[in-house]
Structure 1
Amino acid sequence: MSPAPDERDRIRAAMHRILAGTPEHSNGALTIVALAAEAQVPRNALTQRHPDLKNEFYDKVRARGQTPDSEKRLRQQVRKLKELRAADAEELRQLRSDNQALVGALHQSVMENRQLRQQLAEQPRNLRVLPNQPRPSGHGTRE
C-alpha cells in the first residue's frame, strides 16, 4: 500500500498540534503512537516510511526540555530494575552468609557425632544391654 500523497503534511500538522497541546485525534502523549493517531496514519508510516519525521518529533520534544513519554517509561523501568537488582544482590549476600553459618553448624555436628561414636567405641563396658522382656498381651498392640 502506497502512502497518501499528503501523509508527510498530515504528520507535520499532527506534530504541531501535539506540541502545542491541542490534539484532535489522540491523547496528546509525546509518543510515536500518539503522533500516528493524531496524523491518522499507521504507526509504521513513522517507523518505516518517514523515520526522519519520527526523529524530528523526538528532537522537537527534547528541544522543549521535555522527555518523550516512551523514554520516561524506559527510565522508570530501568530504575525499577536497578532496585530489583540491588534487592537480589542483598538477598544473595544474606543467603551466602546463612550458607556459611549452616556449613559451620553441620561441621560442628559431624565432629560432635564423631567424638561421641569414638567414646562409645572406646568404652563399651559402660553400657549394658537389657534383656528383652515379653510384653503382656493386649498392651501396646492393636488387634
Structure 2
Amino acid sequence: MNTDYFVADRPRAVALAEYGPAGTEVPMLLMKWVEPRVLGSKLWAIIDDLPGSASSDGLPFDLGQRDAVEEVVLMNNSEGTSGIVQIADGFVQVLAALSAGRIPAVAQRWSTAEEWFGPWEPNELDDTVEGLCDLARHVNGRDHHMYMWWSI
C-alpha cells in the first residue's frame, strides 16, 4: 500500500486524490504501509511520551487521546482502494517540534509496534521519523495541512 504524505491546501489535496502527489511540486514524503490511523497515532503517543499500555508491544495506544487522522477527505471508490486523509494538526505540530536528538529513541520505540510487518534493524526508522518531521515543518499558515494519499 502506498502511503504518501504531503503538504498542501485543501483544494490542491483534493486535486491530487486520483494519482497522488508523486511528480508534483508539493512537499512530500513517499512511503509504503505507514498508515496514520494506528501507526501515526502510536508515533504521536510516543513523541508525547505517554506510558505504555498492557498490549503485547507495550506501546501507548488510545485513539481517544491521540488520533493522527483528522478526517477522511476523499475516498475514490466504494472499495476504499485509494483516497486522501488529513493528518491531525496536533500530530503535525508535535512532529514539527521534535528535536533531532530525540529522533533515534522515538524511532526505536516506534519500531516495536506490532502493526509493522516485520522487525526493524536499529536506527532503520530514523530517516522515516526525520522525514515526517521535516515535512511537518513545511506546514505554514492555517490553509495548509499535512495529508496522506493511499493507494492499494
TM over 0.5: no
Choose between structure 1 and 2 for higher RCO, CA contacts under 8 A separated by at least 6 residues.
2
More helix by share: 1
TM-score band w.r.t. shorter chain: under 0.3
